[in-house]
Structures are given as C-alpha cells and as structure tokens.
Amino acid sequence: MSVVDGSAALLPEPADEEAAQQADDARLKEIYDEEFGTFSVQSYRIAEGILRAGWRDHEAVKDALQTAYLHGRVHWPKIRSYTKPIAWIITTARNRLLKEHDRGRRETATAPEDLPTGAQPSLADTWEAQETYRGWLQQLPPRHAEVFQMSRHGFSNEEIARTLGLADTSVRHYKAAANRQLRQLAEQAGYKDSDSRRRPGGAHGSR
C-alpha cells in the first residue's frame, strides 16, 4: 500500500521522533537549569535570612534549604510558574525544620541565659550590624521573627500569612510585636539615639 507507505514515509521514523523528543527535553532542561540556577543564587540569601530569623541552628537551616531547593529543581517545571517560587522554598524548608527540629529551636529561642550583654556604642560595619540584629531576632518568638524578617524583604502580609501558614490577621500583630520587642532589645543594649534624624517613612519602607 503505497499510500500507506507514502504516508508512512512522510512521518518521522520512531527513532527520529525519540531523538527529537530527547533534543527537546535536553533543550528544555538546559533552559530550566539556567533559570533555576539564577533563581537559586538570587533567592538563597533571602530564604536563608528568613529561616535563620526563627532558627538558631544554622546547619539545620542549610540542610533544610538544600533539600527544598533539590525538590524545587525536580518540580521546577511546575514551580517556576508559581507567583513567587521562593515562597514555596521557604514553606517547604520550614516545614522540614518544624517536623525535625521543633524542640531545639524553641528551647534555644527561649533560653534567657545567653542574652548578649553590653554592646559596642556604635556598630561599624554591615557584618556587625547583621550579627547584632540576628542575635536580637533569635530572642523573639520564632513566628514574630520570621514575619518581621519576611516583611523586611518586601513580602506582603498576605504572602507572609500564606508562606508561614498563619492567619491573615496575625501577621500585622506579629510584625508590630516584633518591632516593639526589637526596639526594646536595642534600647537595652544601649542603642537609643538615632544617628541620622529619621526621614519620614525612611526606615520603615520595605526595600
């Protein structure tokens, strides 16, 4: 049957089809690899900062994040279309931490003995400021700290609620409570006077 033969001749050979599919897959993978790579490098620092706000154990945070990114890579074709893939990474890593390390976190977070005492009158560089700030964050209830840190990174209240599994109304209260407590800790440590007279809204705006 020539027609059949002819038409068959027009169709790609099964082997060709497979090869084309593979080439497509490879191309797609390449695109995804690059996309995911960029996403990872850009989001990692933020995700880590947010998780470390509520978790003292840096190693645990790193492990949880690595697993979350791996799972994220596996399902990147789907996750890439999410509103903010980093929210999924945070939720996933955080759930892992909560499941595996809940005890350790709360215990260290509430230990009042190792509060840092006395501080330098003025913090010279970014690193010092970051360490000091993280020290204070870790003395806050973890929820408050996580909410505060996310808001510093520009997440909206609704995004925060959904990422951390909180009620919408809670976010505002946790944020205010965190702000209050941080201010108190800063004052206790002797940081009371503003260097630069506050510009309206300058210090409160998200970045």
| Residues 108-147 interacting with another protein (rule: CB under 8 A) | 110-111, 113, 121-123, 125-126, 129-130, 132-133, 141, 143
33 contacts another protein (rule: CB under 8 A): yes
d(CA 72, CA 40) in angstroms, rounded, equals: 10
Q: Write the interaction track for another protein spanning residues 159-188; mark x where CB under 8 A is met and - where it is not.
A: x--xxxxxxxxx--xx-------xx--xx-
d(CA 118, CA 106) in angstroms, rounded, equals: 24
197 contacts another protein (rule: CB under 8 A): no
d(CA 9, CA 2) in angstroms, rounded, equals: 10
As measured in angstroms, the least distance from the Cβ of 24 to another protein is: 15
Among the residue ranges 9-17, 51-59, 86-94, the one whose residues contact another protein (CB under 8 A): 86-94
Amino acid at 93: A
d(CA 182, CA 189) in angstroms, rounded, equals: 10
As measured in angstroms, the least distance from the Cβ of 10 to another protein is: 33
How many CA atoms are closer than 13 Å to the CA of 66, on its beta-carbon side? 6
Nearer to another protein, 12 or 82 (CB): 82
